Structure 1
Amino acid sequence: MFQPSQHDVRRFFCEVWRKHREGGVLTPMEAVAAPWVAEHPEYHGELSDVEAALAADYKVEDGRVNPFLHLSMHLSISEQVSIDQPRGIKQAFELLAAKLGSAHEAQHEVMECLGEMIWASQRTGLPPDGQAYLECVRRRATAR
């Protein structure tokens, strides 16, 4: 399994932003990430300075959003939907996106469910519960 370091992830997104701005050729993974980076102009300044990005500390207590975590979650959800893993996530995501009228807003809703699943796994020491994650997304897609 591919396990990039924190610096690898930060360099990746900074490079995606640089190539996107300059009209450079993107790798397939960069091509998936670039639209998400473009849709978050609030992160562009941080993505423009690799050295500052590598040194940045994003503490919850400081109220700073970690742009690299946020963009990584967009990328993860995009991959999950594209391969329908966990099985049913594609349909649940599409229903949620249709309900909200925005794939971007649907991704942010799915992020909440993904974060809950990861938090529960870390808290209990059990493997991530893909079924609970999927049910969370389905509830959001079908709630009135």
Structure 2
Amino acid sequence: MFAPSQHDVRRFFCDTWRKRHEGLPLTPMEAIAADWIAEHPEYDADLADLQAALDRGYAVEDGRTNPFLHLAMHLSITEQLAIDQPRGIKQAVDLLAVRLGSLHEAQHQAMECLGEMVWASQRSGLPPDGEAYLECVRRRATAG
């Protein structure tokens, strides 16, 4: 299983940002990441300075989103949709995107569900509950 370190993830996104801005060729994964980076120009300063990115902490108490975690979650959800895993997630996110009028916003809603699943797993010591995650996204997709 691929388990990149925090620094690996930050290097990946900073390098992708740099390559995108320099017009350099991107790997397929970098191309997907570059699309999400383009959707988040508010992260440009964080991505432009690799050393600062490696040195900086993003504590919840700071009241600021960790741009690397946020972008990594976009990549994770994009991959889940591509392979429909957990089974049904693509349909649920597609329905949510229609309801919200935006795939980007649907991904943000799915991110909240994904975060809840990870938090519950860490808290309980049990494996992540993909069905609970899927049901959370489905509830949001069908909320009136």
Q: TM-score, normalised by structure 2?
A: 0.99
2:32 corresponds to 1:51 = no
**Runs of 4+ residues deviating >2 angstroms:** none
Deviation at 1:64, TM superposition (A): 2.2
CA distance in 2, matches of 1:69, 1:51: 17
2:57 corresponds to 1:20 = no
Which sections of structure 2, spanning at least 5 residues, go unmatched? none
Q: TM-score, normalised by structure 1?
A: 0.99
Which sections of structure 1, spanning at least 5 residues, go unmatched? none
Q: What percentage of aligned pairs have identical amino acids? A: 75
CA distance in 1, matches of 2:15, 2:103: 24
Match of 1:6 in 2: 6
Q: Number of residues paired by the alignment?
A: 144
Deviation at 1:125, TM superposition (A): 0.3
CA distance in 2, matches of 1:67, 1:138: 26
CA distance in 1, matches of 2:64, 2:93: 27
What is the identity, as a one-letter code, of the residue corresponding to 1:109?
A: Q
Match of 2:107 in 1: 107
CA distance in 2, matches of 1:98, 1:24: 34
2:134 corresponds to 1:134 = yes
Match of 1:74 in 2: 74
Deviations 1:88-117 (A, max 9, x none): 000001000011110100000000000000
CA distance in 1, matches of 2:129, 2:141: 19
CA distance in 2, matches of 1:64, 1:96: 25
CA distance in 2, matches of 1:128, 1:24: 37
